[in-house]
Amino acid sequence: MSQAFSSTSIRRAVLSMAYAGSTVHVGCAFSIVEILAVLYRNHLRYPDNDPRGPGRDYLILSKGHGVMAQYGCLAEKGWVTRAALDNYFGDGTPLKGLSDAHVPGCEVTAGSLGHGLPVGVGMALAAQLAGTDQRCYAIVGDGEMNEGTMWEALLFAAHRKLDNLTVIVDENGFQAMGTTAEVMGLGSLREKFAAFGFEAVDVDGHDEAALDSALWALRGNRDGRPKAIIARTVKGKGVSFMEHANEWHYTRLNPDTYAAALAELEQA
């Protein structure tokens, strides 16, 4: 496996940013690390390494509060400086706590949940109408699937036969104030996506080989159905005291927890 976009290096970057900025959303960034690593390593195309290039693929981080994981990848692409990561949430930083379209590589301004996916559907439609081979990948949260705009966007995508769209659900079982089962039970998301006209599969969201295989298989099936991967993930994945612990949605690192978390990643 290539060392580019390694899960450990991305998680280190997330911890460094969260500690430097005394900010939150570590757990929800950790759950999408492998998804982002596989996409940036093997699937997203950026001609001339240009994050604004007209022929690029699109990555929509609809769950914009997980953006620290994406910033770690953008730094590896050379689009965000290490100094910007070190100054996260500091004076003059270009990096916000939510996805911001002004940052090269971030396609949408997201944070108000339910907004990013509809934008991604529009981008996929534009590529279809223009006759390009561009693809759009939208990473959404399972809690975000509570929003009505998500289901409207899915219906539209199926209606327009946007088989250049792949929606990846970060199914970590939590949202800000509790489990998804407690707040609003979602049932089988794979079955729901299939009922809405998608080709949908379930995958272990931390198994990079399985993610890669699913992405290639779906990409090769241009049958008119938009695609969906329900990625079963662990909120806080990679640090034992953060895993399945929803308090790490809003808990800030202190010197002790920062050191302990880094030590665990060093042993990974």
Q: pLDDT of 42-62, one tens digit each?
A: 999 999 999 999 999 999 999
Return the structure tokens found at 27: 């757990």
Give the phi and the psi of residue 13 in degrees, each rounded to 5.
-60, -40
Residue 268 is predicted with a pLDDT of: 78
Section 137-146 average pLDDT? 98
In this structure, are residues 71 and 32 in contact, taking their beta carbons and an 8 Å threshold?
A: no
Q: pLDDT of 196-228, one tens digit each?
A: 999 999 999 999 999 999 999 999 999 999 999
What is the reported pTM? 0.97
Pairing of strands 178-179, 58-61: unpaired
Nearest partner of 180 among 232, 227, 219, judged by Cα: 232
Report which secondary-structure segment, H or E, holds 230.
strand 227-232
Q: pLDDT of 149-203, one tens digit each?
A: 999 999 999 999 999 999 999 999 999 999 999 999 999 999 999 999 999 999 9
State the Cα–Cα distance between residues 245 and 234, nearest whole angstrom. 9
Q: Is the pLDDT of residue 3 over 70?
A: no
Q: Is the pLDDT of residue 1 over 60?
A: no
Report which secondary-structure segment, H or E, holds 7.
helix 7-21
User: What single-letter DSSP state applies at residue 51?
Assistant: T
**Percentage of the chain with pLDDT > 90?**
97
Architecture of domain 7-267: 3-Layer(aba) Sandwich (3.40)
State the Cα–Cα distance between residues 64 and 161, nearest whole angstrom. 26
Collapse the DSSP code of 192 into the 3-class scheme (helix H, G, I; strand E, B; otherwise coil) and give the result. helix
Q: Is the pLDDT of residue 140 over 60?
A: yes
